[in-house]
Amino acid sequence: MDFDFNLILVPLTIGLGIIWLLDKLALKQRKTRGRGKEGLIVRWAYDFFPVLAVVLIVRSFLIEPFNIPSSSMVPTLYTGDFIAVNKYAYGVRLPLTYNKVLDTGEPEHGDVAVFRYPENPSIYYIKRVIGLPGDMVSYNQGQLAINDVSVETKSIDFAANPELTSQLYLPGQVAPGQVLTEEGAAAMGQQEESEAQYFQETQGDNQHLVRYIEGMNSAQYAPFLQQQSPEVVSSEGTAWRISVPEGHYFVMGDNRDRSADGRFWGFVPDDNLAGKAVYIWMHKPPGLNLPTFKRNGTID
């Protein structure tokens, strides 16, 4: 999610809105010449400004669509999922400036949140909220805890969809002179899935699945954890402990060993929140494939 459509939508809507208003109050081309005889720009303003204004209001303050570009949230979300994001869940914010003008709510433990990536705010990320402001988040030998209270976790048998498993890795160039074919990408996904372990976590009212890869612990390579928690180095990533500062959130992907999340780059400021992911409305497999609606449903 690396492009903010509002960068085009907002200036275009404002520009056409100004032209529409000028013609209404001063130019009066449509009134004097009649519909279809006014200047081209004025005609565009009348034809497109109302539509763009409605789209801008809906996208900025109500619901905005996003697509999932990676596997960091598997099994909750897969690459190619198209989702709807509730834009007023965490406060009503102005487009482009992102200033909060109305406080309508805050993230809760277990929410799937969309936010502007702290290290590059032009890019949008999606992760699960693990730690709220003031929380102490810890992890020890597979057990996640919030404020020293263990998150309810139990092992679960989960049969992943083979078609979705084949999409865990995307074909294409992976390094200079090194190209991953569609067949190779599918084989890598299937191999990884054979080593996957699934657990059900319960955080508040949110119950969801998380995925780990047997024999792998990416946390031991996480720079942020190494700075914040000396335990992560001595335990080779199997234990760590961090404190979430006020006005910030700690997030992780559900695909715990395949997610570049807060463990690697830090906390999400409240100002960076964009909304709460609430619904999958379409899935588009990579390549020349038609979209499917089999995955439609609410996001846990």
Rounded to whole angstroms, the Cα distance separating 196 from 7 reads 40
- The Cα–Cα gap between 83 and 89 comes to 15
- Concerning whether 72 is annotated as a catalytic residue, the answer is yes
- Tokens describing residue 277: 């992911």
Contacts (Cβ under 8 Å, ≥6 apart) of 169? 71, 180, 185, 186, 188, 189, 192
The DSSP secondary-structure symbol of 153 reads E
* C-beta pairs of 235-239 under 8 Å, 24+ apart in sequence: 238/139, 238/140, 238/141, 238/142, 239/138, 239/139, 239/140, 239/141
**Among 70, 71, 127, 229, the one annotated catalytic:** 127
Of 70, 71, 72, 138, catalytic: 72
Q: Any idea which residues carry the catalytic annotation?
A: 72, 127
